[in-house]
Amino acid sequence: MNEPNSFTIIGTGAVGGYYGGLLQHAGADVHFLLHNDYAHVSANGLIIESVNGGFQLPNVQAYSNPANLPHCDVVVVALKTTANAALHDILPHAAKDGNIVLTLQNGLGSEEEMASIAGAQNVIGGLCFLCSNKIAPGHIRHLDYGLITLGEYRSDGMPGGITPRLELLGRRLAAAGIPIKLVEDLPLARWRKLVWNIPFNGLSVVRNELTDQLIKNPETRGLCMALMNEVATASTACARPIDPAFIEKMMTDTEKMEPYAPSMKLDFDRSQPMEIESIYGNPIRAAKAAGVAMPETEKLYRQLLALNPAI
């Protein structure tokens, strides 16, 4: 088994553009599938503006038709989950010959969707703790963080362990300057990320506030804590207990973070559909199936559904 060196990036935005840019900058063979930005990026390349040092890639391998994509070792799915219907036309061209399908999507349920198209044995889950925005076509601004947590997907819901291919993928990404953490239990990692995503994504929309405002205001800070504890209770009911110390760490990390508009607020402000089902609907349904209600999360879920821009 060789270390992967060729990557297809599906979704060249704040996530895919940033990580794909780092990979190409480090010498990997990277192919970018684009939609609206194809003409601009194929002509002008990518600009990565970063707190860690920016760079420009004047020439990138850009594609608008998935049928033209070459075979690559890793297919990185960095689309918003609201665009996942397109994957039924894209992944059969990109995911072939047993390559890895790495999903870098939010919420719960992404791996299951990838597995239904590309096969469960090919799927690895990735969770990004990244403050990054696409500010113009082909122009990514990285503000803070950058960690990707990687875990093997198993269709039976059991921990996938640390496999040799997971280690090789982690090593290749780390060589491109991407902080990497390997985990044995991907579903637990998904729930742990929801501890942050559920309060801060949704409240940033309904309160029209950035992360620093949410955490400084005693009322919204208390609501964030209540939502975080509710997520932890649901996770425990789904056989993935979360240490209370982790919640405190998330609050402390957010206090130190630069004022930030989470991805859901950016989508709302741009009148784009928000990732409500993956971040809220799926966890609520998983908790209900395990016999636990999430009343504060459900309240936020209903508020977001009412605000969601029409597609």
- φ/ψ of 129, rounded to 5, equals -110, 90
Rounded distance, CA 147 to CA 120, Å? Answer: 24
pLDDT in tens, the chain (311 residues): 789 999 999 999 999 999 999 999 999 999 999 999 999 999 999 999 999 999 999 999 999 999 999 999 999 999 999 999 999 999 999 998 789 999 999 999 999 999 999 999 999 999 999 988 899 999 999 988 899 999 999 999 999 999 999 999 999 999 999 999 999 999 999 999 999 999 999 999 999 999 999 999 999 999 999 999 999 999 999 999 999 999 999 999 999 888 888 999 999 999 999 999 999 999 999 999 999 999 999 999 999 999 998 75
Rounded distance, CA 173 to CA 255, Å? Answer: 28
Nearest to 231 by CA among 293, 180, 274, 311: 293
pLDDT at 2: 86
Class of domain 188-307: mainly alpha
Query: 215: which residues sit within 8 A by CB, 6+ positions away?
Result: 221, 224, 251, 254, 255
Please state the CATH superfamily assignment of the domain spanning residues 6-184 in this structure: NAD(P)-binding Rossmann-like Domain (3.40.50.720)
pLDDT at 257: 84
- Is residue 120 classed as helix, strand or coil in its secondary structure? helix
Catalytic residue IDs: 193
pLDDT at 175: 98
List every span in the chain annotated with CATH 1.10.1040.10.
Answer: 188-307
Q: How many residues does the chain have?
A: 311
List every span in the chain annotated with CATH 3.40.50.720.
Answer: 6-184
Contacts 24+ apart (CB under 8 A), 260-264: 260/131, 260/143, 260/144, 260/210, 260/211, 260/212, 261/133, 261/204, 261/210, 261/211, 262/197, 262/200, 262/201, 262/204, 262/211, 263/14, 263/80, 263/106, 263/201, 264/201, 264/202, 264/204, 264/205, 264/304
Q: Are 181 and 169 in contact (CB under 8 A)?
A: no
**Using only C-alpha atoms, what is the Rg of the chain?**
19
Nearest to 165 by CA among 235, 102, 228: 102
Residue identified by tokens 């391998």 is 61
pLDDT at 311: 56
The pTM of this model reads 0.94
Alpha carbon 265 to its chain's center: 15
